[in-house]
Amino acid sequence: MDEILEILQKDGRATSEDIARMTRKKPEAVRQAIKKYEKEGVILKYKAVINRELVREANAQVRALIEVNIIPQKDVGFDKIAERIYSFPEVSSCYLVSGTYDLLLIVEGKDLQTVSKFVSEKLAPLENIRGTTTHFLLKKYKEDGIILKHREENKRIAISY
Amino acid sequence: MKDIISKKVQQMQPSGIRVFFDLVLGMKDVISLGVGEPDFVTPWPIREAGIYSLEEGFTSYTSNKGLYKLRLCIHRYLKNKYGLEYSADNETLVTVGVSEGFDLALRAIINPADKIIIPLPSFVSYGPLTELAGGIPVFINTEKEGFKLTPRLLEKHIDKKTKAVILNYPVNPTGVSYTKKELSEINKIIIKHKLLCISDEIYGDLTYDFEHTPFPTLPNAKGHTIYLNGFSKSYAMTGWRVGFACGPQEIIGAMTKIHQYTIMCVGITAQMAACEALESGRRTVEEMKREYKRRREFVVGRFNELGLECRRPQGAFYIFLCVKNTGLSAMDFAQGLLKEQKVAVVPGTAFGSEFSDYVRISYASSIDNLKEAINRIEAFLKGRKKWPKRQKQIS
């Protein structure tokens, strides 16, 4: 992967100037590369990683991992059914996987009932769906390589040879 | 009562830097660019291997030379990475970091008044340990040669009493390293004068611009080289204290004799963890190396923008920054910066009294920290009368 992408994946707020310094490129060249990535859809958007557990909000959300068994449709395979499923706003992620089921979804809702209702009323009745298994998330420890915990203090001594 | 302390120890120079270090350690909220160790914690699989070994009850002594399994791992690592073959049976010794390996090497080879050549600036222990072992350090200032020992400089300092040459590359504190060609030329002089070479290559894995060449891989070098390496820097394992020494059987045997009476053996937990480092840790080494390289470019770029002379070092995680055109000595620069901006750096004089125009900057710190620290250095310089001229980028 291009080093510019690698840097931005770690820190979406890294400036073109700083990336240019780190990679020994011209800031203008970095800006253009980023623009190109954005245009091509390689970089889709920039967002903050939020530790929801620390956000005390009235409309807290619950999340569930849902395994979906589907019967592929003739000619279009899984893609068409996947599209019908991921188009629901409740579905935040959707993956096609190998193994004992086919699609893995991450579904969000304001409480258990909302998610259950989505599964039983919207998802399960869909044509071509053979069955679903819902796992509600209890606690999030790590997401996208980031451990969700307060930053640990530096344990190094401040000066050494 | 007088003379409680041995004359030799009395004669050891107390580090003039100690006072400054204490000042840093006593201050809160300091951003430190003065740290000589990685800012990463030991990768989890390595820590886990240490924990597992404790759970399994590995709490005993090991062979004096170190766990056979670890010596085999070292053997394989050197063979696969560099084509360098040292027997796990009698040419490898597991030490308490390179520091112990270094001390053993000196004590194993020095007869009274033997001379040991030490290029400056150097790591702090080389001179004092040479003296403690009864040798005479012969320091060579490499500043004019871009901080590199050249064959000419080396040969100029060799006489009949010269026993060994100490090499350390990439160098702490300059980050300078040597190409294979440069090393070959040095080796020729060493062969010509029948000297030994003690090669401290603890930063070898952190070489950015060319392949690192271990000294014993040079033509006809293995027989007169003591190769020292360890896990501290490349695997972020400083606190575990594990290193190793490889060399001719005769020398390793002599070093093992001293080691068995002083250390007995390296802690078994650390040795177990070190096995894991060599077995599975290579990927993380490469990742850390890429990160250090980016930081190096960032720091060098920023300092040059500030008008401070900053060569691009080839390895380790240090920059030896010349502060001459700020009009301040290294110590004044370091103290002023600490007091006014709470940024710690190490005055160059820690690595040789002649380096009062330099400070050592460690970039083993996150980009965010480096960014903030250099902004503060900029503010510190702006507050002074003599604002340095902008300089051309040095690549």
Give the pLDDT of residue A57.
67
Q: Mind giving me the DSSP string for B120-165?
A: ES--TTHHHHHHHTT-EEEEEE-GGGTS---HHHHHHT--TTEEEE
Task: In whole angstroms, give the CA distance from residue A104 to residue A82.
Answer: 10
Does position B387 have pLDDT exceeding 60, yes or no? no
Over range A134-146, report the average pLDDT. Answer: 87
- A54 contacts chain B (CB < 8 A): no
Q: DSSP strand E in chain B: where? A: 31-32, 92-95, 115-120, 136-141, 162-168, 196-200, 225-230, 243-246, 318-322, 343-344, 346-347, 358-362
Contact A159 B25 (CB under 8 A): yes
Report the pLDDT value the prediction gives residue B393, as an integer from 0 to 100.
44
pLDDT at A4 over 70: yes
Which residue in B22, B24, B35 has the most chain A C-beta atoms within 10 A of its own C-beta, making it the best mutation to test that interface?
A: B35
Q: How confident is the model at residue A18 (pLDDT cuts 50, 70, 90)?
A: very high
Sign of CA dihedral B41, B46, B52, B57: negative
Q: How far apart are CA B221 and CA B1, in angstroms?
A: 50
pLDDT more than 70, % of chain B = 96
**Distance spanning both ends of chain B, measured CA to CA:** 59
Q: Which two tokens stand for residue A25?
A: 């490129």
> If you ran DSSP here, which 8-state letter would residue B240 be given?
G
Residue at token pair 């360890």: B230
In this complex, is the C-beta atom of A154 within 8 Å of any C-beta atom belonging to chain B? yes
- Chain A hits for B24, CB-CB cut-off 8 Å, are 158-159
Instruction: Note the Cα B242 to chain centre separation in Å.
Output: 14
Report field, pTM of the whole predicted structure over 0.95: no
pLDDT at B165 over 60: yes
Sheet hosting strand B225-230, strand order edge to edge? B92-95, B243-246, B225-230, B196-200, B162-168, B115-120, B136-141
Distance CA B101, CA B103 (A): 6
- Chain A: give the shortest CA distance to residue B32, in Å: 6
Rounded CA gap, A108 and A63, in Å? 5
pLDDT tier for residue B284 given thresholds of 50, 70 and 90: confident
Q: Which residues of B touch A156 (CB under 8 A)?
A: 32, 35, 37, 39
H or E, element range at B108: helix B97-109
Instruction: Say what the pLDDT of residue A53 is.
Output: 73
**Cβ-Cβ contacts under 8 Å, B302 against chain A:** 21
Give residue B283's pLDDT band: very low, low, confident or very high (50, 70, 90): confident
Q: Which residues in chain A have Cβ-Cβ distances shorter than 8 Å to B298?
A: 18, 21-22
List residues bridging with A73 in a β-sheet: A77
Helix or strand holding residue B370 (H, E): helix B367-382
Residue B13 pLDDT > 80, yes or no? no
Cα–Cα–Cα angle for A106, A111, A117, rounded to 5 degrees: 75
CB interface of A with B, residues 2-31, below 8 Å: 3, 6-7, 11, 14, 18, 20-24
CB-based contact B151:B188 (threshold 8 Å): yes
Amino acid at B236: A
**pLDDT per position as a tens digit, B24-46:** 988 988 999 999 999 989 999 99
Residue B389 pLDDT > 70? no
Q: What is the pLDDT of residues A69-99, one digit of tens each?
A: 998 777 778 888 899 999 999 999 999 999 9
Q: Kindly report, residue by residue over B229-275, the tens digit of the pLDDT.
A: 999 999 999 999 999 999 999 999 999 999 999 999 999 999 999 99
∠ CA(B101), CA(B24), CA(A156), 5° rounding? 50
Give the per-residue pLDDT at B87.
Answer: 98
A24/B298 touch (CB, cutoff 8 Å), yes or no? no
> Is A161 in contact with B35 (Cβ distance < 8 A)?
no
- Of A55-59, A135-139, B49-53, B306-310, the one with minimum mean pLDDT is A55-59
Residue B23 has pLDDT above 80, yes or no: yes
Nearest beta carbon to residue B34 from set A7, A21, A158: A158
Q: Is the pLDDT of residue A56 over 90?
A: no
A11 versus A144: which is more confidently predicted? Answer: A11
In this prediction, residue B340 has a pLDDT band, given cuts at 50, 70 and 90, of: very high
- Give the per-residue pLDDT at B390: 47
**Span B122-132, mean pLDDT?**
94
Q: Judge: B35–A3 Cβ closer than 8 Å, yes or no.
A: no
Mean per-residue pLDDT, B78-107? 97
The CA distance from B334 to B327, in Å, is 13
Name the band, by pLDDT with cuts 50, 70 and 90, for residue B391.
Answer: very low
Which SS3 state, helix, strand or coil, does residue B46 take?
A: helix
